[in-house]
Amino acid sequence: MSKAFTKEADADDDGDLTSPPLPVGGKNYITPQGYARLRSELLALIDTERPKIVDIVHWAASNGDRSENGDYLYGKKRLREIDRRIRFLTKRLEIAEIVDPAIHQGGDQVFFGATVTYLEDGSVERTVTILGIDEADGKRGQVSWISPVARALLKSRVGDEISLAAPSGLHRLEVLDVRYPGKPVQKGI
């Protein structure tokens, strides 16, 4: 069958399996550090990675038969992946709302960017940092602001006891500590 009549699964799909979709009508809150990381990834893809792959594809295409040319086929696939990631990052950065958690420094109420230590069901102490969807990493103790635990903790204060409905049942959370990153020290001129 001719390739002209087959649909490439990823040709128009801007979905990214590593980042959940934004809630309907929700904002894409992100810290300044998270925004800088996404922006540097976007610029690296545009300025370095994509031109390198384009050169490889151009070289491979000049070698003749493209149907059995691994460099050409892999290069075209990689270009589609890069272009999809560029579109995704561009869209996310356009709608990003940068929130600096340092403005809450010294506060005892939980807002975006807080590192919260809480006691779960009176026995297990946990610490999480509430960050944006595109920057949270569960392996590092970071949760997205739309996660159930973050939504339960937001706007609570040190000493508050709150309920968290989870698939395993109702959990009681007691907020023990709330910390925010300090304001960066500006060096004198």
**Among the listed residues 28, 184, 37, the one whose alpha carbon sits nearest the alpha carbon of residue 102:** 184
DSSP codes of every residue in 20-34: PPPPTT--EEE-HHH
pLDDT tens column, 54-81: 998 998 888 877 777 888 889 999 999 9
2.60.40.10, 3.10.50.30, 3.40.50.970, 3.40.50.800: which CATH number matches 101-179?
A: 3.10.50.30
Residue ranges covered by each domain of the chain? 27-98, 101-179
pLDDT tens column, 102-159: 888 777 899 999 999 999 988 899 999 999 999 999 899 999 999 999 999 999 999 9
Q: Which CATH architecture has domain 27-98?
A: Orthogonal Bundle (1.10)
User: Are the C-beta atoms of 125 and 173 separated by less than 8 Å?
Assistant: no
pLDDT at 16: 46
Q: Which residues of 75-91 are buried (b: 16+ CB within 10 A; e: fewer)?
A: bbebbeebbbbbebbee
